[in-house]
Amino acid sequence: MTSQASAPAYRRLSVEERRSQLLEAALSLFAQRAPEDVSLDDVAEAAGVSRPLVYRYFPGGKQQLYEAALRSAAEELEQCFAEPAEGPLTERLSRALDRYLAFVDQHDAGFSALLQGGSVIETSRTTAIVDGVRRAAAERILDHLVVKDPGPRLRMTVRMWITAVEAASLIWLDEDKEPPLDELRDWLVEQFVAALVASAGSDPGTAAVVRAALVMERPDGVTGVLVRRVLPVVGNAAHLL
């Protein structure tokens, strides 16, 4: 099982480095196939180490390794939404989405297996890790919206959009990564703007957020382009005014 080429490096890694190396090998395997189709043998082989060594680091076996890999992926995903509070909201969101979608692109099969459920390795603990990422992403976005105490309507809008982003990512993987990532990103940002604006209609808290955010938007940004493109489409809704 041990690859000869990497054997010399065997003793040189620290515990933390070795752990990272094994997690990285596991993540890249989970990215290629469903967790239940990855064995500890495969991970040992990919990392160029012996199976007993994998067990020494993850005595709980595959389930433990999977959860550790998941947690490491979760941390990486949460980092995607770390973004300085500068400039128009849609530009910050675009940068966060660029990072998030790059992660989806890189981990495709593993990302699907993780989010679609039905994996034999899924437990209430793994579900909790995934839910933690969703919650963290929602909190980061609410921070950017600069609301001290967001109401239930605004919270629901943000959480629904996050679910929609996940669904769109899965559909995108399923449809051979079409459309190109920058189109998908702009479309997701537009959907967020639309969801916020619609909620603003019946929720004063969201309306205040939208008013403040719109002032910062640039004419050549996503919102400006969206507004100018949408106006002619809704032109024959004059009877609704």
Residues that bind a copy of itself (CB under 8 A): 116-118, 120, 122-124, 126-128, 152-153, 156-157, 159-161, 163-164, 166-168, 171, 175, 178-179, 186-187, 190-191, 193-195, 197-202, 207, 210-211, 214-215, 217, 219, 223-231, 233-234, 236-237, 239-241
Phi, then psi, of 132 in degrees rounded to 5: -60, -40
Question: Shortest approach of a copy of itself to residue 3 CB, angstroms?
Answer: 33
Question: Shortest approach of a copy of itself to residue 128 CB, angstroms?
Answer: 8
Question: Shortest approach of a copy of itself to residue 22 CB, angstroms?
Answer: 25
| Calpha distance 63→126 (Å, rounded) | 10
Q: Nearest 5°: CA angle at 125, between 121 and 126?
A: 50
Task: Select 1 or 170, whichever has its Cβ closest to a copy of itself.
Answer: 170
| Calpha distance 159→138 (Å, rounded) | 6
| Calpha distance 125→57 (Å, rounded) | 20
Question: Shortest approach of a copy of itself to residue 238 CB, angstroms?
Answer: 10
Task: Select 21 or 126, whichever has its Cβ closest to a copy of itself.
Answer: 126
Task: Select 27 or 130, whichever has its Cβ closest to a copy of itself.
Answer: 130
Phi, then psi, of 181 in degrees rounded to 5: -55, -35
Task: Select 56 or 211, whichever has its Cβ closest to a copy of itself.
Answer: 211
Question: Shortest approach of a copy of itself to residue 225 CB, angstroms?
Answer: 8
Residue 7 in contact with residue 48, Cβ under 8 Å? yes
Q: Which residue has the tokens 């180490």?
A: 49
Task: Select 8 or 118, whichever has its Cβ closest to a copy of itself.
Answer: 118
| Calpha distance 26→39 (Å, rounded) | 9
Question: Shortest approach of a copy of itself to residue 94 CB, angstroms?
Answer: 15
How many Å is the Cα radius of gyration of the chain?
22
Neighbours of 213 (CB within 10 A): 20
| Calpha distance 239→235 (Å, rounded) | 10
| Calpha distance 188→22 (Å, rounded) | 34
Q: What share of the chain is helix, strand, coil (3-state, %, to 5)?
A: 75, 0, 25
Task: Select 72 or 116, whichever has its Cβ closest to a copy of itself.
Answer: 116
Task: Select 47 or 114, whichever has its Cβ closest to a copy of itself.
Answer: 114
Question: Shortest approach of a copy of itself to residue 54 CB, angstroms?
Answer: 26
